[in-house]
Structure 1
Amino acid sequence: MRRILASVAALAIIGTAPLWAQGAPSAPGQKNAALITGGTYQADPAHTLVEWELSHLGFSPYFGIFGDVTGTLTIDPKDPQNAKVSVTIPISKVTTANSALTAHLLRAPKDAAGKPDFFGPSPADATFVSTSVKPTGTGKANVTGNLTFNGVTKPVTLATTFYGAGKMPAQMGGSENVGFEATSTIKRSDFGFSNMVPMLSDEVKLKIAAAFTKK
């Protein structure tokens, strides 16, 4: 009798266990470039993020995020060097972990003749438009393009790594997705943001999560 009760209890536990404990299906995205069918993809604004990091007074790194990125990626997996990417980054939607600091980044000048400390209350969107793609290894490439930020356009190179591709589950739309990671370093003074250099570092590290959906 005890064995029967133990078996019933075990079955009940298994039946109520989380899906992941019961061998749930693997993630639909895989690090397999063969799953990229090619064509034109739209940036996923909910999952494309640009993280920026600088040194705060030499004591610690500080970072924030730009989101709601829009744009397109055109890619042929058989001809990756001819890929094209163009994205728009809404600077006005900058996010940090501190509401007062976020407000400071978007604060108007203290007087009519002055400049804002950082972005100001109505900053123009930034854009990045690729000009060349140079593969550097399996799943890796240097993507060079023109970054327009604060009215200044400068060439910037992104060290890019393929992250994953595949189809979303049917109940989530079934669309084809592809994603990448990228890093770069820029000087903010090159784009007219020299306030508090070098107390706040001139060099800004960028870390990008780029997600694209085929429509």
Structure 2
Amino acid sequence: MKKLVLVAAMAAALSTTAVKAEDYVIDIEGQHAFVQFKISHLGYSWLLGEFNDFEGTFSYDEANPAAASVNVTIDTASIDSNHKERDEHLRSDDFLAVEQYPEATFTSTSYTPNEDGSAILAGDLTLRGVTKPIEIMVNEIGAGPDPWGGFRRGFEGSVTLTLADFGIDYNLGPAAKTVDLYLSIEGVRQ
């Protein structure tokens, strides 16, 4: 009888599978992910743009969202504000210094979910050779199967960065000391 109870307990333990974190690759091939920015132009209007080339991965566990992690690498020369001369200036040493710092990276250090489905994604952003901790306000958009037999999960996030924190001190007026980043990320489960 003891043997039967032991076998039943082992079978129950083996049949209970712990939910594991799922790994995702950010969908840049289908252009379902964006890293966009908005900055004041002399205090009179907004300048909008994006980084066209980036890549990344994230891991997410519905049973334990706090274990989520993210890694992203951005090609800084891919900045696109829809104006060739301005983009060349943004790539120069006055701003991104892309020849010396061709990549910006973000590596998460924690993910703190809130009851309303939002979260705070903390991590280290390296831009222009300077690494600073930042906090990105995140909302999960949704998750589920796609029409091609895969599974996707999407998030959006935003953060405001102070340019001088990353060695960018070009004077664009007092209203342009910060830049707002907006991230729309869709990942394909691996």
TM-score in same-fold range (> 0.5): yes
Number of the residue aligned with 2:133: 155
TM-score (norm 2): 0.82
Number of the residue aligned with 2:59: 74
Which of 179, 182, 186 does residue 211 from structure 1 map onto?
186
Percent of aligned pairs with the same residue?
33
Q: Distance in 2 between matches of 1:164 and 1:67?
A: 23
Q: Distance in 2 between matches of 1:74 and 1:184?
A: 20
Distance apart, 1:40 and its partner CA: 0.6
Q: State the structure with more CA Rg.
A: 1
- For structure 1, the 5+ residue unaligned runs are 1-36, 108-115
Name the aligned partner's letter for residue 149 of structure 1.
Answer: L
The structure richer in strand per residue is: 2
TM-score (norm 1): 0.73
Q: After superposition, where does 1:183-198 map in structure 2 within 5 Å?
A: 183-198=158-173
Q: Distance in 2 between matches of 1:211 and 1:84?
A: 14
Structure 1 stretches of 4+ moved >6 Å: none
Q: Distance in 1 between matches of 2:163 and 2:91?
A: 16
- For structure 2, the 5+ residue unaligned runs are 1-19
Number of the residue aligned with 1:104: 89
Which of 29, 42, 62 does residue 57 from structure 1 map onto?
42
Question: Over residues 153-201 of structure 1, what are the superposed CA-to-partner deviations in whole Å (9 max), with x where a residue is unaligned?
Answer: 00000000001211111xxx31111110101111011001111153561
Which of 9, 14, 32 does residue 47 from structure 1 map onto?
32
> Number of matched residues?
168
Partner-residue secondary structure (3-state), 2:80: coil
Partner-residue secondary structure (3-state), 2:164: helix
Name the aligned partner's letter for residue 43 of structure 2.
Answer: G
